[in-house]
């Protein structure tokens, strides 16, 4: 039986070649996140869950750094990133974001990826250990109630609330520079096109097994969902020098 992490990897491998045509919300949120770190210098940077590298490129356009790594678990995403953004001098690597060097980075950046972690507290602890003292952790992630309109037809993946994310950050000793919650919606002319858009961005992994074909057919037949709602948290925190 394939575990959830492998299903996530497979979904994003399949989505890689069309991803940049459908990641409207991801790019929009990424631009907002970059505003909080732009015009700054960081010695070592890593982008977690970099996908096709489009937001990585935008990040590199707005900061200065000596070295930048960008990682993703999907081989096809990394292949696309290397194909279109090799001129950036970024080290694109297939890797999990739970496997980071300790005390190594001045900026850990992640746009729309960390909600795929199976245990956000463990992942944040790894990130905390990977940051140098005074380092910045800037990230966005989908929150509770994202895609709630799909919950009647599908077993939607359970995501943490804004308050729960902040609670973990405070518990680990981070200093919160910025935190905000953003609501965005994508409109569609049919439920079928809403499902297609999800598939093209890799967001098709449910919390529990469901009879996917039967559920999808009913969802499409009812044609009741014409919008997908995103509830997104944007966070910028620093690792204290006395940590």
> Is the pTM of the predicted complex or chain greater than 0.75?
yes
- Pairing mode, if any, of strands 64-72 and 41-48? parallel
What percent of the chain clears pLDDT 70, i.e. is strictly above it?
Answer: 88
**Neighbouring residues of 47: CB distance < 8 A, sequence distance ≥ 6:** 55, 56, 59, 68, 69, 70, 71, 90, 109, 110, 111
Beta strands in the chain (DSSP E): 41-48, 64-72, 91-94, 105-111, 131-142, 174-187, 227-239
Q: What is the pLDDT of residue 209?
A: 43
Q: What is the pLDDT of residue 15?
A: 93
Q: Is the dihedral of CA 81, 82, 87, 91 positive or negative?
A: positive
**Neighbouring residues of 35: CB distance < 8 A, sequence distance ≥ 6:** none
The 10s digit of each residue's pLDDT in 57-75 is: 999 999 999 999 999 999 9
The 10s digit of each residue's pLDDT in 211-225 is: 454 556 666 556 677
- Pairing mode, if any, of strands 227-239 and 131-142? antiparallel
The 10s digit of each residue's pLDDT in 95-141 is: 998 889 999 999 999 999 999 998 999 999 999 999 999 999 999 99
Asked whether residue 145 carries a pLDDT value surpassing 70, the answer given is yes
Q: What is the pLDDT of residue 98?
A: 85
Name the CA dihedral angle for 73, 75, 77, 80, rounded to a multiple of 10 degrees: 150
H or E segment to which residue 218 belongs? helix 212-222
Full set of structural domains in the chain with CATH: 25-187+230-239 (3.40.50.150)
Q: Enter the tokens of residue 164.
A: 């729960």
Asked whether residue 148 carries a pLDDT value surpassing 90, the answer given is no
């Amino acid at each position: 039986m394939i575990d959830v992490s492998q299903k996530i990897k497979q979904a994003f491998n399949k989505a890689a070649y069309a991803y940049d045509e459908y990641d409207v919300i991801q790019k929009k949120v990424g631009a907002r996140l970059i505003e909080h770190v732009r015009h700054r210098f960081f010695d070592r940077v890593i982008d977690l869950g970099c996908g096709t590298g489009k937001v990585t490129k935008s990040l590199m356009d707005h900061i200065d750094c000596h070295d930048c790594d960008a990682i993703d678990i999907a081989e096809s995403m990394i292949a696309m990133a290397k194909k279109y953004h090799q001129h950036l001098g970024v080290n694109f690597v297939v890797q999990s974001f739970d496997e980071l060097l300790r005390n190594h980075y001045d900026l850990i950046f992640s746009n729309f990826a960390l909600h795929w972690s199976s245990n956000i507290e463990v992942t944040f602890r790894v990130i905390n250990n990977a940051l140098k003292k005074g380092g910045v952790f800037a990230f966005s992630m989908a929150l509770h109630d994202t895609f709630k309109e799909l919950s009647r037809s599908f077993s939607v993946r359970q995501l943490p609330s804004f308050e729960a994310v902040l609670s973990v950050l405070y518990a680990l000793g981070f200093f919160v520079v910025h935190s905000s919650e953003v609501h965005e919606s994508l409109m569609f002319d049919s439920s079928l096109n809403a499902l297609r858009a999800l598939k093209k961005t890799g967001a098709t992994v449910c919390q529990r097994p469901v009879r996917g074909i039967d559920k999808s057919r009913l969802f499409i037949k009812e044609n009741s969902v014409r919008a997908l709602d995103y509830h997104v948290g944007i966070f910028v925190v620093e690792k204290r020098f006395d940590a």
